[in-house]
Amino acid sequence: MELIVAIYNISSVPKMLEIAKITYGFGVRRLALIKVFGAAAQQIGDLFKLAFKMGGEVLVFNDINDAVDVLRPDVIFALGKPEKDARPIEKVEGRVMILVHGADLAFSPRELPQNAVMSYAVKKDVGSTGHLAIALYKLLES
């Protein structure tokens, strides 16, 4: 399984860097930022520096469809709160994109590609950073 972590709609520099540390800390090399704005866009150089130090890479896209066209994931897990349409994240074969919302909001159906799977890591509301850390642990450490 090849993993790609993608952050959608991010404006917070501390959150952007924390997600990057979690991603690279679990050994995932590829981090995609989709729709970066505000302070995160202005200080994206800090992320590139962190990625270089931790052996990772950063890709930046304007929208989710651009990221999907370039990265070509076989499966897209859109992480969020455990809601009625969401299912637990699970190991699968192929190239997997884990999509997290940078503003801790729920994804709307309009934002996601058709083949995205609404998912959660645990049945608690631990925020997108928490769900990402737990999801990566489940997928890579178990």
How many domains does the chain contain in total? Answer: 1
> What is d(CA 116, CA 48) in angstroms, rounded to the nearest whole number?
27
The H-or-E segment that residue 37 falls in is none
> What is d(CA 108, CA 18) in angstroms, rounded to the nearest whole number?
24
Helix/strand/coil for 86: coil
Whether the per-residue pLDDT at 105 is higher than 90: the answer is: no
Give the per-residue pLDDT at 83: 83
Which CATH number do you get for residue 125?
3.40.1280.10
**Digit-coded pLDDT (tens) for 52-103:** 999 999 999 999 999 999 999 999 999 988 888 899 999 999 999 999 999 9
Give the per-residue pLDDT at 142: 67
> What is d(CA 138, CA 132) in angstroms, rounded to the nearest whole number?
10
Rounded CA Rg of the chain: 14
- Full residue range of the structural domain in which residue 137 is found: 2-141
